[in-house]
Amino acid sequence: MSVTNGEAPLRSEHDIVLARQLVRKLTQELGFSLVDQTKMVTAASELARNALIYGRGGTMIWEKTADSERRGLKLLFADEGPGIPDLNLAMTDGWTSGHGLGMGLTGAKRLVNDFNIDTKVGGGTRVTIVRWK
């Protein structure tokens, strides 16, 4: 019997590598195409890095999910960092609060089928993504 959910810490660069490897393995188990595997791994990498850098570390919670017509992988990236003061600005292509390219959140959103972000100043950020097969 395969595991359908779990979590992984995001406390170091090594944890980001491990999260990428885990997402690759999960998408392979679900039978995703190589292109869809790459999209989900890339989105996960961006969001894991955001949780580490801007959220001061966090957790990636994963779940193999299904509805009546399809199977997918759902990932939740949660941190207890400072939150995002202006979500609309943060979701603008090219905007960055650091030294990146400003493609993390918006890039991740384009790579997945479902994207949801919940943030509270002083209360952390939670980003949920789903990629369906």
The C-alpha atoms of residue 29 and residue 129 are separated, in whole angstroms, by 18
Return the number of other C-beta atoms located less than 10 Å from residue 62's C-beta: 20
Residue ranges of domains in the chain, CATH in brackets: 5-132 (3.30.565.10)
**Residues ≥6 apart with Cβ < 8 Å to 130:** 65, 72, 73, 74, 75, 112, 113, 114
Quote the tokens at residue 47.
Answer: 């969001």
- pLDDT tens digits, 87-112: 888 888 765 665 554 467 998 999 99
- pLDDT tens digits, 58-83: 999 999 999 889 999 999 999 999 99
The C-alpha atoms of residue 67 and residue 48 are separated, in whole angstroms, by 26
